[in-house]
Amino acid sequence: MSFSQQGNGVALSLEDKVALVTGGSRGIGAATVRLLRQAGARVVFSYRNAESEAAKLVAECGGEMFCRALKQELTTVEDGQALVVATERVFGRIDCLIVNHGVWPSHDQPIGTMTPEQWRGTMGVNLDSVFGLVQSGVKQMLRQDKPDGPRGYIVLVASTAAQRGEAFHADYAASKGALLSLTKSLSSELAQKGILCNCVAPGWVKTEMSAATLNDPMASRLALSFIPLGRAAEPEEIAGPIVFLCSKWAGFVSGEVFNVNGGAVLAG
């Protein structure tokens, strides 16, 4: 039998895995939920306000036996911890933690006039709640029976702003830059325990959060001029690398920042 006759392709299966996706009702999060379900995982995802979108996504993914939406604010350490506890109650375990939620204040704000309230608000969502999620998620993974292969996977979603900075959005860039360091710290601490932590860093993506910029002709032209591929990504193009990093094919990948930005960092 020839190599081409041995099968119908490479299987990317997450059967028997449970994944938690934060900010999963729309955009990158929703695309990730769909792809995780296609790979066979049971999925819990959080949402804040998009209740109707969340309900539709649950139905699309096979109903509550396979997919569950949990309404949860994510602004504090305690919020993150509570979501992990609620997820464990739903499906009994967590194998994959995908930290996708975040806030990007769309208005330009010079650092000299940025309010402490804006700074603290961005850090609360983008960093404090992440600590709560990771801390509780790791505890849960270490309590569980160890499966074949890695004990668990953590994927943090950062941004090209973490690497290049972003003028007038220092709060966002600083919070996402912290996730790069957190990824490397978690890898050096947890890889030997069988928990692999990596980071996906998207550039401009066609989501609700970026719509104000991408729908403005002048702002969009400027943003896309820094992307060698000349366009923004579709949410599914970010979901693919996220799901790959939760699979056995990424079993020797730890502490990496996976750039998915159309070459934008290379151009910086």
Is residue 227 assigned to a domain?
A: yes
Domain count within the chain: 1
**CATH code (residue 156):** 3.40.50.720
Is residue 8 assigned to a domain?
A: no
Known catalytic residue at 47: no
For the ranges 33-42, 117-126, 160-169, 213-222, the lowest mean pLDDT is seen at 213-222
- Note the pLDDT tens digit of each residue in 106-135: 889 999 999 999 999 999 999 999 999 999
Is residue 38 assigned to a domain?
A: yes
Across all residues in the chain, what is the average pLDDT?
92
Q: In whole angstroms, give the CA distance from residue 101 to residue 85.
A: 18
**Residue range(s) defining the domain that contains residue 100:** 13-262
Is residue 7 assigned to a domain?
A: no
Is residue 4 assigned to a domain?
A: no
Average pLDDT (150-176) is 94
With beta carbons less than 8 A apart as the criterion, state whether 29 and 2 touch. Answer: no
- Note the pLDDT tens digit of each residue in 14-59: 999 999 999 999 999 999 999 999 999 999 999 999 999 999 999 9
Residue tagged active-site, from 45, 104, 172, 204: 172
Is residue 5 assigned to a domain?
A: no
- Note the pLDDT tens digit of each residue in 254-267: 999 999 999 887 65
**Cβ count near 38 (within 10 Å):** 13
What confidence score (pLDDT) does residue 213 get? 78
Q: How far is residue 149 from each of residues 14, 196, 224, 247, measured CA to CA in Å?
A: 12, 11, 40, 10
Nearest to 193 by CA among 121, 120, 138, 128: 138
